[in-house]
């Protein structure tokens, strides 16, 4: 597996990470814990060194899973987790980044992750009630105390990133980015390049849609949050199929899979981009890792770019209450 550096802070990780959220949360019932431990360990065997979790996934369950799975090979891997949602009552209820709570969350996350240091600690969403300077300053104290190595932000806007970065250098931004969500190209990527911050795209396969495995007829489990995502309404899935068909045709020419094209496209955008596709299936993990070897020429990228830009993707990527938390 190739390695990449996230920004100027020398955090070196595998070119593709593994998003662990879906193993416990968000896409229907939690998967079997023992199977997921085995899948995470298999990812390490296959060269993945970068694993993503958060206290709110479950809540708490996903950190426990990742901690148990990676404990035997802790010194070979980079673990990223997040604070910033209030889930003290056992379910997510709004954002909160009070400095005292950040410190409390970190102590709890360290225990669940069975480690004495968090490699990359993200603010999950910007809290409008706490100045970002206070958040960055708190993480700086945690870094000085040896409990955290790197500071990250998620779904933050460019100006907020700049303000935080002045207090404590930001190593990575995690936000959604893929062939069907290109918004980071307008301002975020330029800001990250200028400041020397790495980019970690989540949902690089469009929450599964770009793999070609989801159609207008697909029925999601009642606990799957895609049921509430406008972009995944039956009507919008029908319209958005045009982008999946385009990627599928391109993949067939290259003799690879649509998922591999979508991931290879992201990897080709910048050398400091590290996508974190999630999965609960071994064959999908192997398929995703195969994307690192797919070479897209400048001509391939232009062709894909030009065809994709003619397709208007329908539907918001979040319900309105969640969209309000993005880009602050």
What is the set of active-site residues? 57
What whole-number distance in Å separates Cα of residue 259 and Cα of residue 265? 10
- Phi, psi angles (nearest 5°) of residue 316: -70, 155
List Cα–Cα distances, 234 to 69, 83, 219, 224, 226, in angstroms.
37, 33, 9, 15, 11
What whole-number distance in Å separates Cα of residue 179 and Cα of residue 182? 6
What whole-number distance in Å separates Cα of residue 146 and Cα of residue 316? 40
- Phi, psi angles (nearest 5°) of residue 231: -60, -20
- Pure H helices in 59-173: 61-70, 99-112, 132-144, 158-167
Burial of 31 (C-beta count, 10 Å sphere; 0-12/13-18/19+) = middle
List Cα–Cα distances, 115 to 38, 48, 121, 141, 243, in angstroms.
19, 19, 13, 18, 42
Residue pair 213/291 in contact by the 8 Å Cβ criterion: no
Residue 62 CB contacts under 8 Å (≥ 6 apart), including other chains: 20, 21, 23, 24, 25, 53, 54
3-class secondary structure, 127: coil
Structure tokens at 215: 């159609």
What whole-number distance in Å separates Cα of residue 196 and Cα of residue 194? 6
């Amino acid at each position: 597996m190739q390695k990449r550096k996230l920004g100027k802070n020398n955090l070196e990780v595998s070119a593709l990470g593994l998003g662990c959220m879906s193993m416990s949360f968000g896409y229907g019932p939690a998967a079997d814990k023992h199977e997921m431990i085995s899948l995470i360990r298999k990812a390490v065997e296959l060269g993945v060194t970068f694993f993503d979790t958060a206290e709110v996934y479950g809540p708490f369950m996903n950190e426990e899973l990742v901690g148990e799975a990676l404990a035997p090979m802790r010194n070979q891997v980079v673990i990223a987790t997040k604070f910033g949602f209030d889930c003290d009552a056992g379910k997510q209820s709004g954002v909160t980044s009070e400095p005292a709570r950040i410190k409390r969350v970190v102590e709890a996350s360290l225990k669940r992750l069975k480690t004495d240091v968090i490699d990359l600690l993200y603010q999950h969403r910007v809290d409008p009630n706490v100045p970002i300077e206070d958040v960055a300053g708190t993480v700086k104290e945690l870094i000085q105390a040896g409990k955290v190595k790197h500071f990250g932000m998620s779904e933050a806007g460019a100006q907020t990133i700049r303000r935080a970065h002045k207090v404590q250098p930001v190593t990575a931004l995690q936000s959604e980015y893929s062939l069907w969500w290109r918004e980071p190209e307008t301002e975020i990527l330029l800001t990250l390049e200028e400041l020397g911050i790495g980019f970690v795209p989540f949902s690089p396969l469009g929450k599964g849609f770009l793999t070609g495995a989801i159609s207008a007829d697909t029925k999601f489990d009642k606990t799957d949050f895609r049921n509430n995502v406008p972009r995944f309404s039956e009507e919008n899935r029908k319209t958005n199929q045009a982008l999946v068909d385009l990627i599928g045709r391109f993949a067939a020419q290259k003799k690879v899979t649509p998922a591999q094209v979508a991931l290879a496209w992201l990897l080709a955008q910048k050398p400091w981009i590290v996508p974190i596709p999630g999965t609960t299936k071994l064959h999908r993990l192997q398929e995703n890792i195969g994307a690192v070897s797919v070479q897209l020429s400048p001509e391939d990228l232009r062709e894909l770019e030009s065809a994709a830009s003619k397709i208007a993707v329908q539907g918001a990527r979040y319900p309105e209450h969640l969209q309000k938390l993005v880009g602050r």
